[in-house]
Structure formats: structure tokens, C-alpha cells
Amino acid sequence: QVQLQQSGPGLVKPSQTLSLTCVISGDSVSSTSAAWNWIRQSPSGGLEWLGRTYYRTKWNSDYAVSVRSRITIDPDTSKNQVSLQLKSVTPEDTAVYFCAKGDYYFPFWGQGSPVTVSS
């Protein structure tokens, strides 16, 4: 059974970089049949897919248009984890951030990481 354990700071200052980590157990970040996603949920409740990374014959990443200029999702094969970096954050980036496994849908989710952007 796949388990995803998230970690990272819960408070980030405006204009700084939000960084979160998702440690994977029960699967490999390098699996050629999996994709590793970041999804966030705003305080109003809406879910927004942010992006994903996955390995086939090489590493690939896809990002949502809304954050494409600010986001990086990277695998770390030595630690079997995936990271999220979101640059130049504003209060509108305040949300609960989830990592999730899945190509087209998400059967496995991390526990969620609440992040507040505030000075």
C-alpha cells in the first residue's frame, strides 16, 4: 500500500519560496507506471491541480498554466521523495497542499500540509 508523508513549513512570507516534500513508501518515485502530483485546496474549498513529475524513459514534468512560471516539482531518487517549490508567493497561495499518486486520477493522497502566506 502506497503511503505519502508530507513535510514543510506552515508559514511563508510574501515574495519568498514555498517548499514542501513528500516521502513515498510502498512504491518508487522512479516507477514507470506512476506519476507524482501536487494539488492544493484553497480556504474556500476548491481543489486545484498544480503539476506532476513522472519517469518513463526520462524524467518529465507537467504544470498547470496558472502557476507554470513559478513552480518546480522535482524527484529525489536517493530519498524516494518528490518536492514542490513555488516561488514569489502571495497570500493567494495560502492553501492546504497535497501530494498524490496517479496518472489521470488520484487513488493515493498525502495527509495535507497547511501553508499560510503572511508577513
Partner 1 sequence: SYALTQPPSVSVSPGQTASITCSGDNLGNRYTYWYQQKTGQSPILVIYEDTKRPSGIPERFSGSISGNTATLTISGTQAMDEADYYCQSYDSTSVFGTGTKVTVL
Q: Least distance from C-beta 44 to partner 1, angstroms?
A: 9
**3-state secondary structure (DSSP) of residue 93:** helix
Q: Which residues would be at the binding site for partner 1 (CB under 8 A)?
A: 37, 39, 45-49, 62, 64-65, 98, 104-107, 109-112
Q: Least distance from C-beta 77 to partner 1, angstroms?
A: 24
Q: How far is CA 65 from CA 14, 61, 68, in A?
A: 21, 13, 5
Rounded to whole angstroms, the Cα distance separating 53 from 49 reads 12
Return the number of the residue (81 or 113) whose C-beta is nearest partner 1: 113
Q: Least distance from C-beta 14 to partner 1, angstroms?
A: 25
Return the number of the residue (16 or 64) whose C-beta is nearest partner 1: 64
User: Bridge partners of 62?
Assistant: 52
Return the number of the residue (78 or 105) whose C-beta is nearest partner 1: 105
Return the number of the residue (72 or 109) whose C-beta is nearest partner 1: 109
Q: Least distance from C-beta 54 to partner 1, angstroms?
A: 13
CB atoms inside a 10 Å sphere around CB 31: 14
Name the residue type at position 96.
V
**117 near 14, Cβ under 8 Å?**
yes
